[in-house]
Chain A
Amino acid sequence: AQSVSQHNHHVILSEAASLELGCNYSYGGTVNLFWYVQYPGQHLQLLLKYFSGDPLVKGIKGFEAEFIKSKFSFNLRKPSVQWSDTAEYFCAVISGNTGKLIFGQGTTLQVKP
């Protein structure tokens, strides 16, 4: 069955530190990959997405993610985090033969000012 795993459940960083959140998925065929963010008290918003082409995808607010097919990974990165990046981050995958968008467990990021 298709699954998504986020290994970091809770990350605490100081402002200006670099961020990398891990995401691995289990499906071996063609996939579309997403990162969503949920700020406190709000619903999910799309950060970035990968469908095809350049495996390095740039999203909003300085975030980027790299699709590494051989590692079944789609890690999220940001060179320098801000206090306003405090939120919960979700990786999600949709695979061709299911039509289902499956989310990972989420990673809570806390940025200290």
Chain B
Amino acid sequence: NAGVTQTPKFQVLKTGQSMTLQCAQDMNHEYMSWYRQDPGMGLRLIHYSVGAGITDQGEVPNGYNVSRSTTEDFPLRLLSAAPSQTSVYFCASSYGGTLGDNSPLHFGNGTRLTVT
């Protein structure tokens, strides 16, 4: 099992550039989510999805778009990169993701993004 696969591992962007962070899981998980991790701020939820065709905003959605056309994939798009988006991004998935679901999040290995 590959689990949760994120690409790329590292990326440097210039301000204003756009890019897509890829996330794929092979566990048939319904719930997928994107977090950013910044020192002293823990993990903050950007967007999440409870199934194909369904997405919703998390705590810090501004500047990011997502789509969920298939169960396996949940790409995160930066429309116009800003230095404030320099961070480590984690994709995570779980079987259900809702209250009472007895499955933990499976995390990808992260993408370290630097915006200059």
| A87 at the B interface (CB under 8 A) | no
Pick from A43-51, A66-74, A75-83 the stretch touching chain B. Answer: A43-51
| B99 at the A interface (CB under 8 A) | yes
Partner of A101, one of B45, B56, B108: B45
Which residue, B44, B56, B104, has most C-beta atoms of chain A within 10 A?
B104
B58 to chain A, nearest CB (A): 6
Taking a contact as CB atoms under 8 Å apart, the answer to whether B42 and A105 are in contact is yes
Bound Cα distance from A14 to B59, whole angstroms: 36
Chain B residues with CB under 8 A of A9: 40
Taking a contact as CB atoms under 8 Å apart, the answer to whether B33 and A101 are in contact is yes
Bound Cα distance from A49 to B100, whole angstroms: 11
Chain B residues with CB under 8 A of A46: 104-105
Bound Cα distance from A9 to B41, whole angstroms: 10
Chain A residues with CB under 8 A of B92: 44
Interface size range of chain A in the complex: 20 to 34
Bound Cα distance from A101 to B101, whole angstroms: 12
> How many residue pairs between the two chains, A and B, have CB atoms under 8 Å in the bound complex?
65
| B35 at the A interface (CB under 8 A) | yes
Taking a contact as CB atoms under 8 Å apart, the answer to whether A102 and B59 are in contact is yes
Taking a contact as CB atoms under 8 Å apart, the answer to whether A99 and B97 are in contact is yes
User: Contacts A44-B105, A49-B104, A90-B43: A99 and B98 contacting too (C-beta < 8 A)?
Assistant: yes
Chain A residues with CB under 8 A of B42: 6, 90, 103-106
* Residues 22-54 (chain B) with a chain A CB within 8 angstroms: 33, 35, 40-45, 48, 50
A91 to chain B, nearest CB (A): 9
User: Contacts A32-B100, A94-B99: A43 and B33 contacting too (C-beta < 8 A)?
Assistant: no
* Residues 9-59 (chain A) with a chain B CB within 8 angstroms: 9, 30-32, 34, 36, 43-46, 49, 51-52
Which 9 A/B pairs are nearest by Cβ-Cβ distance? A46-B104, A105-B42, A96-B99, A103-B43, A43-B107, A106-B42, A103-B42, A44-B107, A99-B98
Q: 21 pairs across A/B with beta carbons < 8 Å?
A: A32-B99, A32-B101, A43-B107, A43-B109, A44-B92, A49-B102, A49-B104, A51-B102, A52-B100, A90-B42, A94-B97, A94-B99, A95-B99, A99-B50, A99-B99, A100-B58, A103-B43, A103-B45, A105-B40, A105-B41, A106-B43
